[in-house]
Chain A
């Protein structure tokens, strides 16, 4: 079974609007972390936001927020007030077993296009 599933190959959003990128995960480990990364055409993976499995509140970082629904095993990324520079690939990733291991499982990504 896929550990991380991103069902949206591509998404379009109007500039200044909000957009939600979906991510579901599968793990039996009670301790895990969920990440979102942005990958522009240059190739660098840019860290956006992190959610730990024991965190009580949804993570937020500026215009990025993570809608964490533990029972449903979903960790959707919400980008508010989209900007043209947000156009990129977005990857959801998971790490199991606390902060000791740095083995991330990545989803297949969602290509976001922001329309002026």
Chain B
């Protein structure tokens, strides 16, 4: 069974540009959530999508957005990139209804903003 797949794994952008990251969840999983990991702030929740609807949102500016498609694949977009957006962006999927609701993470997309 394939795990959570994130693309691209690494990317470099310059300030002011925008970026789109993609996440393919485990087959059958309908919930996808996104996290940002930085050395200074640690792991922070960005947002969660379920059945193409955003269910939860963390405390991030509107430059951070996302969406989910009918096949549960999700994308997140960051517009007008800032140096502080350099981070590892992790995607997690889960099969709601499980007793543990455990989250399976991908390997992440490492974004560097110059």
Q: In whole angstroms, what is the CA distance A33 to B96 when docked?
A: 14
Interface size class of B (residues with CB under 8 A): 20 to 34
Q: Are A50 and B102 in touch, CB under 8 angstroms?
A: yes
Q: How many residues of chain A are within 8 Å of chain B by beta carbon?
A: 25
Interface positions, chain A 23-80, Cβ under 8 Å from B, are: 33, 35, 37, 42-47, 50, 52
Which residue in B45, B48, B90 is a CB contact (below 8 Å) of A45?
B90
Dominant SS among interface residues on chain B: strand
| A100-B96, A103-B45 known; A44-B102 Cβ under 8 A | no
| A35-B102, A37-B105, A102-B33 known; A108-B42 Cβ under 8 A | yes
- Chain A interface residues toward B at CB < 8 A: 33, 35, 37, 42-47, 50, 52, 91, 93, 95, 99-109
- Chain B interface residues toward A at CB < 8 A: 31, 33, 35, 42-45, 48, 55-56, 58, 88, 90, 92, 94, 96-108, 110
